[in-house]
Amino acid sequence: MNRKTFFAMLARDAHVARRNFVPLLVQTMLQPMLFVFIFGRVMTRSGLLPTAYKSLLLPGIMAISMVLSGIQAVAMPLIAEFQFTKEIEDRLLAPMEIGWLAIEKVIAGMIQALASGLVIIPFAWLILGTGVELSFRSPVLFAVIALLVALFAAAGGLTLGCSVGQTQIGLMFSLVLAPMIFFGCAYYPWSALANFPALQWAVLVNPLVYASEGFRGVLVPQFPHLSLVVVVGALAVIDVLLVALGLARFRSKAVS
C-alpha cells in the first residue's frame, strides 16, 4: 500500500462528492423521505396508522438510505469507469496494488453511507413531527452497527459494480435493489411476517433485514426486533463475504 497515493485518491473522491453534493443528496434521500412523509405523516395523521408507527419506521428508513447511498456511490462510478469512460485505466497505473484501489472505493462509499444515515435522522424527525421516540442509550453498539451496515453497502456496491454491465443497470434495480428494499423489514419488523413462515425465514438471506432490525434494536428497543447478537454476527459474515467477492471481481475485471 502506498499511503500517499491511497489518501490522494480518497481526497479526490471526497472532492467529487462535495461538488456533486446536491445531486447525491436528492438521489439517495428523495425516495426514503417520500416514504417517511406518506407513511409516517400522512397515514398517521389520517388515523390509518398508529402514531407509534413513526418510531418504528425511522430506523428502517435510515437503513435504506445508508444502503442505497453506499451501493450507488461505489457501483455506479465503477460501471461507468470500467465500461464507458475507461477512467479506471488511469487509476490502475497508480503506484499501488490493485486491491488497495478497490478498498479505497469501499472506504469512500462507507463515508457517504454513514453521512447519508446520520443526515436522515434530523430530516425525518422534522417531517414526522411529534411522537417520535428514539433511544440513544447504546452509542457504541449503534456505531458498530452503523459501520457494519456502511461496509455492507459499500462492499455490495463494489460487487455489483464489477458484475453488472452498463446495459443491465435497470435490471440491477429491478431484480436486486427493489426486492431487497421491500423484503428488508424496513417498513415493518421481522416478527410481522410470522403469518408467513416460509417468507419469514426466506428474507433472512437479505442483508437489509439485519440493517433494519439492528437500527430498530438500538434506536427503538421497545418494538420487536431480532437479537442484536444475531444482527452483528450476520452483518459481520455478510461483510467478509462481500469484501472477498468484491475484491476478487475487481481484480479479475481490472486484469481483463
pLDDT the model gives residue 93: 67
For the cut 70, the answer to whether the pLDDT of residue 86 exceeds it is: no
Q: How many CA atoms lie within 13 A of 98 on its CB side?
A: 14
For the cut 80, the answer to whether the pLDDT of residue 20 exceeds it is: no
Instruction: For 95-147, write each residue's pLDDT tens digit.
Output: 778 888 888 889 989 988 998 888 888 877 778 777 777 888 888 999 999 99
Considering its fold, how many domains does the chain have in total?
1
- Domain of residue 85, residue span: 3-255
Instruction: For 188-242, write each residue's pLDDT tens digit.
Output: 999 999 999 999 999 999 999 999 999 999 999 989 999 999 999 999 999 999 9
d(CA 65, CA 84): 27
pTM above 0.75, yes or no: yes
Top pLDDT among 91 and 195 is at 195
pLDDT the model gives residue 122: 81
